[in-house]
Amino acid sequence: MTLEEKVGQIFIICTEQLDTAPAVDGVKSEDKKLTAAMIETLKKYPAGGFIIMRNNIENPEQLKKLTADLKASCRIAPIIAVDEEGGRVARIANHGSFDVPKYESMEAIGDTGDPENAYEAASTIGGYIKEYGFTMDFAPVADINTNPENIVIGNRAFGSEPELVSRMVSAYLDGLHSQGIAGSMKHFPGHGDTQADTHSGYVAVYKTWDELMSAELIPFIDNFGFADSVMVAHITLKNITVDNLPATLSKELITGRLRGELGYNGAVITDALNMGAIHENYSSAESAVLAFEAGNDILLIPYDYREAFDAVLEAVRSGRISEERLNDSVRRILALKNI
């Protein structure tokens, strides 16, 4: 691999980020197909994977062609990911053009108390997303719904009891794996006890590490051995980290706590870096370098992909980030792809 290809591996982007034409009213003209111009951009800015959002989907035939074209355009097989949790976050099931099973919510599945229902749901979801060319599902939600005022997690979580959530998360991962789909537990270290939404801006959590260890962290820790990856939230842990950074940018949390203290050795993915909690406070270049230095392996949807790519590439060339550190992440990513 060239250095540029190695840097590209750490990014999962939206297809329209390859479109160099100016946006009109904030919207890119090409978001449902891969054009020749976008393929040329991809040659200069190779990406390790793509996330398909609702705006990228028109109908089953178009989606199959899009994912096939993305795979064909990459020298190194890409991750093709989607947020298909089941319930209100389901890009395919909630799109009117697709005839696939729908689920009320993961909370409703958790309420049954039977992990077999979580397995069945994930196996079904894994089966139909595989048909459309996906290799990874950004699920399950491993958060515990501990705050009734929570506006972002709520019934996306399996419940409010750590051991129940842990069992459901384990079964859900098994269901995805039964279809050959990789999963991602989210949102470490737990987004369940928040009121604000990191999509919009800064969110602080005031629990101590001991409090998280007794609740929010349990589903993650219990399932580290089964998880393909862990997605980190943008929440700021006011009574845990001294760097006062969002968790995704905190080396203290990711390298020190997640990898060091808790011993997790798998792939670590940021939540989307174009979300308000990051984009409103950091440039794409700054957030990408900080997130990678913190210990993340995959940087999800930087606001400006080319700016983020160039910044990480320059950080490696200058020695700020060692190539061996980059190689460590590339190895984890290739393992995630079964390459």
Interval 278-298 mean pLDDT: 97
Distance CA 1, CA 17 (A): 23
Q: pLDDT tens-digit profile of 26-81? A: 566 679 999 999 999 999 999 999 999 999 999 999 999 999 999 999 999 999 99
Segment 138-148 mean pLDDT: 89
Report the alpha-carbon distance of residue 276 to residue 31 in Å, rounded: 21
How far is it, in rounded angstroms, from Cα 103 to Cα 45?
38
Element (H, E) at 80: strand 79-82
Catalytic site includes residue 199? yes
Distance CA 206, CA 194 (A): 9
Per cent of the chain over pLDDT 90 is: 88
Q: What is the rounded distance in angstroms from the CA atom of residue 257 to the CA atom of residue 17?
A: 33
Q: How confident is the model at residue 204 (pLDDT cuts 50, 70, 90)?
A: confident
For residue 290, give the 3-state DSSP assignment. helix
Q: What is the mean pLDDT of residues 15-24?
A: 81
pLDDT band of residue 21 (cuts 50, 70, 90) is confident
What average pLDDT does the segment 228-256 reach?
A: 95
Alpha-carbon distance of 103 to 124, in angstroms, equals 10
Question: What pLDDT, on a 0 to 100 scale, did the predictor assign at position 194?
Answer: 52
Average pLDDT over residues 317-328: 98
Q: How far is CA 303 from CA 135, 243, 283, 312, 318, in A?
A: 23, 23, 8, 14, 23
Look at residue 203 in the predicted model and tell me its pLDDT. 80
Of 69, 95, 111, 199, the catalytic one is 199
What is the DSSP code string of 6-74? Answer: HHHHTEEE-GGGG--SPPBTTB-S-SSS--HHHHHHHHHS--SEEEE-GGG---HHHHHHHHHHHHHH-
Catalytic residue, chosen from 31, 83, 193, 271, is 271
Q: HEC states along 234-254?
A: CCEECCCCCCCCEHHHCHHHH
Q: What pLDDT digit, counting tens, does each position of 105-137 carry?
A: 999 999 999 999 999 999 999 999 999 999 999
Active-site residue flag, 114? no
Element (H, E) at 322: none
Q: What is the pTM of this model?
A: 0.94
Specify the pairing of strand 229-232 against strand 11-13: unpaired
End-to-end CA distance of the chain, in Å? 13
Q: What is the DSSP letter of 183?
A: E
Residue 263, both tokens: 């011993």
Instruction: Report d(CA 105, CA 31) in Å as an integer.
Output: 28
* Residue 222 CB neighbours (<10 A): 18
Which residues, other chains included, contact 107 with Cβ-Cβ below 8 Å and sequence gap of 6+? 87, 145, 154, 155, 156, 157, 158, 159
132 or 205, higher pLDDT: 132
Could you give the CA distance from residue 74 to residue 43 in angstroms, rounded to a whole number? 8
pLDDT at 181 over 80: yes
As a whole number of angstroms, the distance between CA 31 and CA 14 comes to 8
What was the pLDDT predicted at 200? 44
Report the mean per-residue pLDDT for the chain: 93
Element (H, E) at 1: none
Q: What percent of the chain has pLDDT over 70?
A: 92
